[in-house]
Amino acid sequence: MSHNVSFFATCLADTVFPDIGIQSVRLLEQLGCTVSFNPKQTCCGQPLANSGFHKKARATMKNLTTALLEDNSKYVVAPSGSCVLQVKEYPKFFKGDPVWKKKAEELAAKIWEITDFIVTVLGVTDVGARLPGKAVYHPSCHLSRLLGIKEQPLALLGNIKDLELVPIKGQDKCCGFGGAFAVKLGPLSGAMVIEKVDNIKAAGVDYLIGADGGCLMNMKGRIDKEKLNIKVLHVVEALMAGKEEGTK
């Protein structure tokens, strides 16, 4: 059965980490989905909303809602727990506006985080990937705590051939990203990411895998600064590993 999926790339994957978007699309297509991408989409508005600027955020929320509903697909899928959480919260931002509230509810009801979509909707946990080495998985806060998506990414990663997942100290602790928090309180956010990377380092791994571009950018920033030999991968990149021949 083919599923029509409207893909929400997220602004970070669109501009900074295009491979997250590319591998997401390839993965969904391999799993039999028909993927569309509406180029009117931009950002979910989270940096504004989390800083309290709800009024200023509403324009971009409307823009994204229009873009993602326009495709008329049964599902909207995005490779970020944090952005999916934000979209799921949209109805709260349009409390006094029945027209937009309705649209926001429609979108909130059909948006899925990609690992949740693959496991829950497609019913797949083994995508046939192979990635030899040891990895730490970072369960991003919004994904795991606020959306409650804990098992899905682990189920998928657990089936990657030759990949060993290693636990670390303080595994479920925030990496210090927090969007605008990372630049508003840079030194504090920096202290948090330093501790996180220290714990990852201590595990002696080849990869750091996560499901949220923002957190990954934060930890990668530190890993690069320390010139560590740890490759940072989004979970979709890990799930496409070892089967890319001929698709480049």
Amino acid letter, residue 141: C
String of contacts with other proteins for each residue 100-139, x by CB under 8 A: ----------------------------------------
Told to check if 29 binds other proteins by CB under 8 A, we report yes
Q: Return all residues near 165 (Cβ < 8 A) that are at least 6 apart.
A: 134, 135, 136, 137, 154, 157, 158
Told to check if 181 binds other proteins by CB under 8 A, we report yes
CA–CA separation, 196 vs 211, rounded Å? 16
- In the bound state with other proteins, the residue whose beta carbon lies nearer, of 121 and 146, is 146
CB of 161 to other proteins, least distance (A): 25
CA–CA separation, 109 vs 88, rounded Å? 7
Q: Are 210 and 235 in contact (CB under 8 A)?
A: yes
- DSSP secondary structure of 136-149: EEE--HIIIIIS--
CB of 162 to other proteins, least distance (A): 27
Q: Which stretch binds other proteins (CB under 8 A): 106-114, 116-124, 156-164, 215-223?
A: 215-223
Q: Are 175 and 199 in contact (CB under 8 A)?
A: no
Told to check if 59 binds other proteins by CB under 8 A, we report yes
CB of 207 to other proteins, least distance (A): 17
CA–CA separation, 190 vs 173, rounded Å? 14
Told to check if 220 binds other proteins by CB under 8 A, we report yes
CA–CA separation, 170 vs 135, rounded Å? 15
- Binding region for other proteins (CB under 8 A): 9, 11, 13-18, 20-22, 25, 29, 37, 39-43, 45, 47-48, 50-57, 59-60, 62-63, 67, 141-142, 145-146, 172-174, 176-179, 181-195, 217-218, 220-222, 224-225, 247-248
